[in-house]
Structure 1
Amino acid sequence: MNLEKREIILREIHYWRRSKLLPEQYCDFLTNLYDDEKEIKDSNPISLKNLQQGSIKIWLFGFGIISLIFLISLYFSVFPWPLQLATALCVLIVCYGYSAIYRDRNHMISLVLAGFGSVLTIGFGLWLIALHDLNADFWRPLLIAGCGLLWVILGFTLRIGLLHYCGFAFWALLYAGFSGQMRPDASVLELELLWLPLCILMVWLSWLLYHRIKGVSGVYLGVGVSLWLMPEIDALWLRPDYPEWVSLVLIFKIAAGLALLFIFRKKWITWVAS
Structure 2
Amino acid sequence: MLSRGFTNAGAPPCAGACNESEGKFWKEGCRLNLEKRDTILREIQYWRRSKLLPEQYCDFLTNLYDDQAEVKDSNPVSLRNLQQGSIKIWLFGFGIISLIFLISLYFSVFPWPLQLATALSVLIICYGYSAIYLNRNKTISLMLAGIGSILTLGFGLWLIELHKLDADFWTPLLIAACGLLWCVLGFFLRIGLLHFCGYAFWALLYAGFFGHVRPDASLLELELLWLPLCVLMIWMSWLMYHKVSGVSGVYLGAGAALWLMPEVDALWLRAGFPEWTSLILILKIAVGLALLFLFRKKWITWVAS
Name 1:163's counterpart in structure 2: 194
Displacement, 1:9? Answer: 9.3
Q: 1:48 aligns with which of 75, 79, 91?
A: 79
Q: 2:263 aligns with which of 211, 228, 232?
A: 232
Choose 86-95 or 243-252, whichever is displaced more: 243-252
Aligned mates of 1:224, 1:248 — CA distance in 2: 21
Change over 3 Å in CA distance of 1:69–1:7 after alignment to 2: farther
Contact 2:41 2:62 survives alignment (8 Å): no
If asked which structure has higher relative contact order (CA below 8 Å, sep 6+), I would say: 1
Name 2:8's counterpart in structure 1: none
Q: 1:81 aligns with which of 95, 101, 112?
A: 112
- The structure with the largest alpha-carbon Rg is 2
Name 2:241's counterpart in structure 1: 210
Name 1:201's counterpart in structure 2: 232
Alignment of 1:188 onto 2:213? no
Q: 1:97 aligns with which of 97, 122, 128?
A: 128
Displacement, 1:74? Answer: 0.3
Alignment RMSD (CA, Å): 1.8
Name 1:66's counterpart in structure 2: 97
Report the secondary structure of 1:215's partner residue: coil
Name 1:37's counterpart in structure 2: 62
Change over 3 Å in CA distance of 1:54–1:7 after alignment to 2: farther
Q: Which amino acid aligns with 1:6?
A: D
Choose 57-66 or 91-100, whichever is displaced more: 57-66
Aligned mates of 1:109, 1:8 — CA distance in 2: 22
Give the TM-score normalised by the residue count of structure 1.
Answer: 0.88
- Equivalences, count: 251
How far does the alpha carbon of each residue in 1:81-136 deviate from its partner, in whole angstroms, 9 at most, with x for none?
Answer: 00000000000000000000000000000000000000000000000000000000
Aligned mates of 2:165, 2:158 — CA distance in 1: 10
Name 1:20's counterpart in structure 2: none
Displacement, 1:10? Answer: 4.3
Q: 2:155 aligns with which of 124, 128, 134?
A: 124
Choose 183-192 or 47-56, whichever is displaced more: 47-56
Change over 3 Å in CA distance of 1:37–1:99 after alignment to 2: same
Any unmatched runs of 5+ in structure 2? Answer: 1-32, 47-60
Between the aligned residues of both structures, percent identity stands at 76
Contact 2:219 2:266 survives alignment (8 Å): yes
Q: 1:112 aligns with which of 134, 138, 143?
A: 143
